[in-house]
Amino acid sequence: MRDERLKAVDFFCSGGGMSYGLHESGIDVIAGIDIDLTCKETYEANIPNSKFIHADITKFNEEELLEHINIQRDDNELVFIGCSPCQFWTIINTDKEKSKKSKNLLSDFERFVNHYNPGYVVVENVPGILSKKEESGIEEFINNLENKGYVVKYKIVNLNNYGVPQSRRRFSLIASRVDDSGIFPTEENFKPVVKDFIGIENGFPKITAGHNDETDFIHTTAGLSKKNLERISKTSINGGTRSDWSDTELQLETYKKRKANSFKDTYGRMFWDKPAPTITTKFHSISNGRFGHPEENRALSLREGATLQTFPKNFVFKSSSIGTTARIIGNAVPPEYARRIGEAILKAKNK
């Protein structure tokens, strides 16, 4: 008898945010593929019975995948996920030269979709991939799916509407050639905020900047210079900004000639009663956004960032440095949103 349990292959899996969420929904994640070997140990420690495949997808042949896992073409129970690195298409002001080589990864993922023709295809990316739909390749990707008989549903979503305590806008796509009604998770009226996830009441004891937690809980924070400690201590609790000290000797040279509201979130604190900003790969640094703790004089800890990304507290990060761990956390698809994607697919399959 043919196994009718859904199974997934997670391309660009990183540390396993999407894979973990899909597994929690009841989908078997049989493999994750990523070029970044520093993700391997974290992925394998948290995703049961899934194989981490270290590969550069731009050089990885479709048939080579069969050397690692047993899958078939035209399998209605097969799910392909492609959450490719997206820095090139982000609206955030980043160095696009560094991310140029990753801007066409969607077309590489498309090769595998075309070859294996899975029952379901999932894509999650930055909103910029849709606003620049011709350049990013997403328009061609969608047209190709529809021409192959897939029903494609996509939109820009704020993950705060799906159980994630962040204002995190993303492009999401779910395509199926098995279900003809269009699959997508249902939005909720309840929108979680920072205090629902972190703070003493949620199991996060007070710590200071530079605290090193050697346990798997990794309630670890980056150190701060004397001047930055002064800055954060003079930033009002619960949502304060650098405007609290902009007229003092603490003002940064780079902002003295800029408008008062330029990059206003930099060095700011989060609000307890609002969603966190998007947790990026630099959330452990107060100089990279509104990543100051709502009331303690420090940036978010690694575990706080992971928790705001909806990783469970027992999710183990196996990387060797604060920067590497923060990158894995910030790059992840929040597992809670991934779980809801999986549940939506399973609901459609079992109806």
Classify residue 61 as left (phi > 0), alpha (psi -120 to 50) or beta. beta
Does residue 94 carry a pLDDT above 70? Answer: no
Does residue 92 carry a pLDDT above 50? Answer: no
pLDDT class of 123 with cuts at 50, 70, 90: very high
The pLDDT of 157-177, averaged and rounded, is 97
pLDDT class of 201 with cuts at 50, 70, 90: very high
- Distances 281 to 4, 146, 274, 327 between C-alpha atoms, Å: 37, 34, 20, 4
Name the average pLDDT for the chain: 92
Least confident of 90-94, 143-147, 168-172, 347-351: 90-94
Does residue 24 carry a pLDDT above 90? Answer: yes
Distance CA 69, CA 54 (A): 13
The pLDDT of 39-60, averaged and rounded, is 96
Distance CA 113, CA 92 (A): 29
In the chain the first and final C-alpha atoms are separated, in Å, by: 21
Are 136 and 128 within 8 A, CB to CB? yes
- For each of the domains in the chain, give its residue range(s) and CATH number, in order of start: 7-186+334-350 (3.40.50.150), 198-309 (3.90.120.10)
pLDDT class of 98 with cuts at 50, 70, 90: very low
pLDDT of residue 86: 58
Tell me how far the alpha carbon of residue 99 is from its chain's centroid: 17
pLDDT class of 263 with cuts at 50, 70, 90: low
pTM: 0.93
pLDDT of residue 275: 98
Are 19 and 89 within 8 A, CB to CB? no
The pLDDT of 13-41, averaged and rounded, is 97
- Just list the catalytic residues: 86
Are 326 and 309 within 8 A, CB to CB? no
Q: 331 φ, ψ to 5°?
A: -80, -15
Residue type, 264: K
pLDDT of residue 247: 86
The pLDDT of 184-200, averaged and rounded, is 97
- Distances 259 to 246, 263, 264 between C-alpha atoms, Å: 11, 9, 9
135-159 exposure pattern, b = at least 16 Cβ within 10 A, e = fewer: ebbbeebbebbeeeebbbebeebeb
- Distances 338 to 11, 173, 264, 332 between C-alpha atoms, Å: 14, 12, 31, 10
262-285 exposure pattern, b = at least 16 Cβ within 10 A, e = fewer: eeeebbbbbbbebbbbbbbbbbbb
Does residue 336 carry a pLDDT above 90? Answer: yes
